[in-house]
Structure 1
Amino acid sequence: MTISPKTVDGTGPTGGRLLLLAPRINETGLALRTAAQRRGLAARTATSYRVPEGLPAAVAAHVYGGPLFGDAVGRELGLALLDAAPDWLTTLPVGLTGRRIECLPLADARRLRRPAFLKPPVDKLFPARIYPDGSGLPGPDALDDDTLVLVSDIVAFRREYRLFVLDGVVHAASRYAVDGGLSVAPLAADPYREEALAFAADVLAGCAGSLPSAVVVDVGLLADSGAWSVVEANPAWASGGYACDPDAVLDVVLRAAGPAGELRDADRRFCRDLPLVVG
């Protein structure tokens, strides 16, 4: 398997396109802004968590930033923000995850009496980490009882990789961790490149239709068994690019966070519910 070639996905050097970046721009955002300008797209960094004043009414907007930014500007800009289903990991066979994973309401997760890795499946509502039990999760005064929590067996990863996926194919990839510590390198420079891509191809072929057409999937090599495992899926419009080619990342971001009027039918069920922002 090879990484797919770059495409502009119909959003290249045409008029009326804008890439809007969140106020707290990171390295990936800076790289995407440069890549967008290089191919003829307007690119702008917002100064606050609201739609900037003075945008042309007919502008076709795309965004890159965290969930808070997407929620703040998405509905007003008429965007469709794609993400995997919150319980996507639980639908995969144990052979692909290397661990048991459940998606529970917070009320049930608080009653856990065993160590587990706990994380919110979508937004960063509480720290994702190993908890000795469920008693350390936020109480009902902080989060609703029906808030979803991913409950995973505890595993350690020897190496971890980020894959930007477009139309079921790895479009850009990077290593981001070794033995639990940040270790960023282009996938081409990693000795496990071929194994990572082969595993990714198997995963993407096996779960065809269960992911949006543009998404991020993280995979890793388990420390104990040496088996490959799916770590998680994330929205491309809110994920760091690490050492991925910014032009290829931009292709995926443009599809994952663009005008709702251009949404593909197969992606409709993966659209984030955007709040109505007042004031």
Structure 2
Amino acid sequence: MELLAGEAAARGMAVRAAEELGPLTGPAHWYGGPLAGARLAGRLGFALLEPVDDWLAELPEEFTGRDIRSATVADARALDEPTFVKPPRDKTFPAGVYADGSRLPAGLDPATPVLLSEVVTFEAEYRLFLLDGRIATAGRYAVFGRLDPRPLRTDERDRAARATLAEITGFVDRLIAAAGHTLPSAVVLDVGRLLDPYRAGHRWAVVEANMAWFSHAYAADPARVLDVVLRAAGPRERVRPGDLAFVRH
């Protein structure tokens, strides 16, 4: 947040914390949590773009590398085998592998939407900030599930890193060609190298899609991250027609 605030200030934008907001003299943008964002959107006139809840579950297995389905907390409670369970958008409970449905946190509304996925292993995971279907900036954020940020740039001198970025770009290009119309024009896409026990090497797969205005930049370029955030959470009157279906209500 500090990196993005610094970049915004360098562009001449006024940066304010939500609890310190006073009268505004220009268009407003948002970077922060969904509850505060939803509360302030009407007052400040910005629109929040986000993927639809079942986007990941509707993707072909070619892009997910695993079986994923949309469900509810009630469905998850009935699980009798280890399953990866996550809320599709808000962080209402910790995403992770639950041994069975009884291990889910208590007190959850049974009707709360969730995504259920078979358990897989990602060797490495990368965060991509997409603008108009192209990678604006990217960085690694985890290795075997452990936080391990590293930049990933087009001018990268490391040959292996350049090869990784080329592979990711090719994968994203195929995904956008097949399902790009199902994502907002400014969005975060997490992808990973999925270890396959039945074949040598690895394959690329989508981890999830997220709201750019509520996503950690990790090692991505803050200037390019801000470009994506400004589109993803900017003045309602500037929302493009193709993005209207992705405005958070």
Instruction: Give TM-score scaled by structure 1 length.
Output: 0.81
Match of 2:117 in 1: 152
Residues 1:43 and 2:25 aligned together: no
* Of 211, 218, 225, the match for 1:235: 211
Match of 1:255 in 2: 231
Query: Greater CA deviation, 184-193 or 31-40?
Result: 184-193
1:1-279 matches, within 5 Å, as 29-46=1-18, 48=19, 52-56=20-24, 58-139=25-106, 142-188=107-153, 189=156, 190=161, 191-224=163-196, 225=199, 226-273=202-249
Distance 2:5 2:34 in 1: 19
Q: Deviations over 1:215-255 (max 9, x none)?
A: 00000001235111000000000001111111111110000
Change over 3 Å in CA distance of 1:223–1:53 after alignment to 2: closer
Distance 1:241 1:128 in 2: 19
Change over 3 Å in CA distance of 1:112–1:249 after alignment to 2: same
**Structure 2 spans left out of the alignment, 5+ residues:** none
Percent of aligned pairs with the same amino acid: 50
Bigger helix share:
2
Distance 2:78 2:170 in 1: 39
Tell me the CA shift for residue 136 of structure 1. Answer: 2.1
Distance 1:156 1:149 in 2: 20
Distance 2:58 2:144 in 1: 27
Tell me the CA shift for residue 145 of structure 1. Answer: 2.0
The alignment yields a C-alpha RMSD, in angstroms, of 1.5
User: Which one-letter code corresponds to 2:83 in the other structure?
Assistant: A
Tell me the CA shift for residue 53 of structure 1. Answer: 4.5
User: Which one-letter code corresponds to 2:183 in the other structure?
Assistant: L
Q: Secondary structure at the match of 2:242?
A: helix
**Structure 1 spans left out of the alignment, 5+ residues:** 1-28, 274-279
User: Which one-letter code corresponds to 1:60 in the other structure?
Assistant: P
Distance 1:260 1:144 in 2: 31
Instruction: Give TM-score scaled by structure 2 length.
Output: 0.91
User: Which one-letter code corresponds to 2:127 in the other structure?
Assistant: R
